[in-house]
Chains A and B, each alone.
Chain A
Amino acid sequence: KNQVEQSPQSLIILEGKNCTLQCNYTVSPFSNLRWYKQDTGRGPVSLTIMTFSENTKSNGRYTATLDADTKQSSLHITASQLSDSASYICVVSPGALAGNNRKLIWGLGTSLAVNP
């Protein structure tokens, strides 16, 4: 069964600190993996998209890594800011061989709170 699991479920850090969020997936075949940031009551905003051939991708203070062999990804946030408080969602796209059922597979997200 195609699944995306994220950990931790929630995280509290102090402003200025770094943190790393984890994503494990069992989606096969695999096309790409995305990280979204979603503020409460708002739409998700894309942070990174990585295909199987990409190991790392950065977007400002956000750096995502992908290990397609172990089916793991991480999102590292550097020098956190209060505005980083949000839910971070890992989303996996099945590959072409998945046929018609190529819906995005969403994780449940990690809820991050950055405190002053």
Chain B
Amino acid sequence: DTEVTQTPKHLVMGMTNKKSLKCEQHMGHRAMYWYKQKAKKPPELMFVYSYEKLSINESVPSRFSPECPNSSLLNLHLHALQPEDSALYLCASSLSPGQAYNEQFFGPGTRLTVL
């Protein structure tokens, strides 16, 4: 299995809702990433998990809460989001930590719309 899967593909939520995005990989990768991408912009790094521990938080608001239950799974819990948080949320994984050196494999993304 050489892919990263993400669910759901699309999500529409109100500002008072709580929802979660899920990401899964079975390539034995030990680093996993969350990115946010707005239209016609490059992906922006949000979080990096290294060996199931949070290693990088790019000053992301607390309404985004990541979780890595095991080496294959990565969640992003969403609560009290704002309309400007609407974007494509991408999960990626790499064989080992060290973003600069390791090829990252991206999932198809979750298109999030906050009303």
Contact = CB atoms under 8 A, between A and B. Distances in A.
The yes or no verdict on A and B being binding partners is yes
B100 A31 contact: yes
Interface stretch (A13-21, A38-46, A58-66, A68-76): A38-46
Give the one of B41, B90, B100 with max A CB within 10 A. Answer: B100
A89 B103 contact: no
A104 interface: yes
Interface in B89-115: 90, 92, 98-101, 103-109, 111
A104 B108 contact: no
A106 B43 contact: yes
B42 interface: yes
B111 A93 contact: no
A32 B104 CA distance: 13
A44 B92 CA distance: 10
B101 A31 contact: yes
A93 B42 contact: no
B45 interface: yes
A66 B106 CA distance: 24
Interface in A68-96: 89, 91, 93-96
Interface of B: 4, 6, 40-43, 45, 88, 90, 92, 98-101, 103-109, 111
Interface of A: 31-32, 34, 41-46, 49, 89, 91, 93-96, 98, 102-104, 106-109
29 contacts: A31-B100, A32-B100, A32-B101, A41-B111, A42-B109, A43-B4, A43-B6, A43-B90, A43-B106, A43-B108, A43-B109, A44-B43, A44-B90, A44-B106, A46-B103, A46-B105, A49-B103, A89-B42, A91-B42, A93-B101, A95-B100, A102-B98, A102-B99, A104-B45, A104-B99, A108-B40, A108-B41, A108-B42, A109-B42
